[in-house]
Amino acid sequence: MCGIVAYVGPKDAAPILLEGLQRLEYRGYDSAGVVVSNKGLKVRKVKGRVADLAKVVPARFKGGLGIGHTRWATHGVPSDVNAHPHLSADERIAVVHNGIIENAAELRAKLEADGVVFASETDTEVLAHLIAHAADENETLEEAVRKTLKSVVGTYGIAVIDAERPGEVVVARNGSPIVLGIGEKEMFAASDVAALVRYTRQVVHLEDGELAVLKADGFHTFASDARETAKEPLTVDWDAGHYDTGGYEHYLLKEISEQPETVTRTMSGRLDERFHVAHLGGLNMDARETRSFRRVKIIGCGSAYYSGQIGAQLIEELARIPSDAEPASEFRYRNPVVDPDTLYVAISQSGETYDTLAAVQELKRKGGRVIGIVNAVGSAIAREVDGGIYLHAGPEVSVASTKAFTSTAVAFALLALHLGRVRDLSPADGRRIVEGLRRLPGQIGEILAQSDKIAELAKKYAGHAGMMFVGRVRGYPVAREGAQKLKEISYVHAEAYPASELKHGPLALIGPDMPTVAIVPDDELLDKNLTTLGEIRARGGQVLMVGHREPSAKLADDAIVIPKNEIELDPILLTIPLQLFAYYAAVALGRDVDKPRNLAKSVTVE
């Protein structure tokens, strides 16, 4: 969740670190800091944004070696003192750290017993003192870091520099991403390629339990047992331009607006018009193996989980395989039964979501067959799974997921079509779904053309303290995602329920001050959904209906009418107006749309 940037080379490190940290602002943070090495360590750190940090970094902050950090608080409140980097007592060692040291209290107590005085409340400062002690006893910084980490329990991505060894950075990974960037006579490291792409597109991903030493002329990697490891650089497809707002007021609006193109990329080269099937070679499964699965279990967190619910519905309808979705954070802790006849699907935009990664690793230990649906090529989950589908949606910078969510739903439609056509889905139905998928980009464009109307509706409803979202069957995960978007970027309390569950409790909340957003597709459940609208209106509740036809004034106060596709694919389109509604509500309320409070883009802690 935090951000790390490191540099070693002939240039001044500070501007590179600050620019890299700005590229990582979307991850969410509460403080920032940098340290450079030049005849000792020079440190600046502040509570607040990278812009606040830049104001306190002097012009003569020189040094060709440095590390930087943006912090999302876990141990200790956001403050200047708790911000990273953290230094050892002798100011020789500086450390930045993503993750959580679970045995920090125990290690801290031992250090305090030895006379160490701590400056902060963080778990990270423990590392600085331990590495400094080890550095006094070992010839190299890499050996000091390696031996220190043997006593550490928890997750970490770290970067370490030593004032007495000004030409190298040591980095290590366990559960929190670290990526190396290879330049011309310079080296970089970061927690995300976003911080690197302005300077290089040649990257190396560290594995869990792996460390690296960076010097200006190259790097070497090794395991926690000191065994050398071999790494092959990858070329990143994205460049710095992908991380610009492109003239939009916010990244979120840019990413919503990009969806006709991103959905097209997700489908590109994967639809077969002749046999009406989806080609998904990345699954690494032949037809015989594909037919052998008797159940599909989907795991993800947040919006990924809700897209998994849409996916489960698609797979059941098109492939007739029992399917369900579950939060990865719950799945990994409940000692699940891992069935060899079940296909497991892990979803993560970043490919680094810790709970999802841990669930994948648990499944692999127990012999489960796991595929991934991820956006970031070369990410941890992408490397861990047996096969999968890359979204090719491009970088998603805003904390709230939009284009990755939609592309994930489309990827599930492709997967459902693929599974269905090797089982019992007829060529006619296959053709129908292929044609429906082909229509999606244009129909998304039609919905985006209603932005002005949706903005007015959002402004009308944004002043309410809370809103209810309801939907049936295919509409329920759409309602859940709509509520998620509204609450996370506008801070308006929003709850989502199956429409039929209203009368089993939540209807008590309905009244003039609790509007309802009702997802009403034109499908076999239309009449039942309209009945629900009548129940809400009879109790004085306002209704904003999102569906395929204009409702009567008796049933809804307002409506957003969208194009109709095939009933199985309609949920993909129904999410788009809810993204716009949440965005414009947040703008109307003056929220920090791209960086909502307390949240982070890539959740790499438990």
Distance CA 87, CA 119 (A): 9
Q: How many residues are present in the chain?
A: 606
Residue 349, classed as helix, strand or coil, is coil
- Contact residues for 151 (Cβ-Cβ < 8 A; gap 6+): 103, 107, 130
Question: Which residue is it, tokens 């998620």?
Answer: 484
Residue 131 near residue 165 (C-beta atoms within 8 A): no
B/e letters for 386-403, b = 16+ CB within 10 Å, e = fewer, are bebbbbbbbbbbbbbbbb
Catalytic residue among 297, 487, 564, 601: 601
Residue 321 near residue 294 (C-beta atoms within 8 A): yes
DSSP state string for 113-179: HTT---SSS-SHHHHHHHHHHHHHHSSSHHHHHHHHHTT--EEEEEEEEETTEEEEEEEEEEBS--E
Bridge partners (DSSP) listed for residue 86:
95
Question: Is 2 noted as a catalytic residue in this protein?
Answer: yes
The two three-digit tokens of residue 425, written as one number: 């889905």
Catalytic residue among 2, 403, 485, 564: 2
The two three-digit tokens of residue 399, written as one number: 């904390």
- Contact residues for 72 (Cβ-Cβ < 8 A; gap 6+): 1, 2, 27, 28, 29, 30, 600, 605
Q: In what helix (H) or strand (E) does residue 272 lie, and over which residues does it extend?
A: strand 271-272
Distance CA 234, CA 297 (A): 31
Question: Which residue is it, tokens 């209906």?
Answer: 545
Question: Is 301 noted as a catalytic residue in this protein?
Answer: no
Read off the DSSP letter of residue 104: H
Residue ranges of alpha helices (H) inside 471-555 are 475-490, 526-538
Distance CA 308, CA 330 (A): 14
Distance of CA 39 to the CA centre of its chain: 39
Catalytic residues: 2, 601
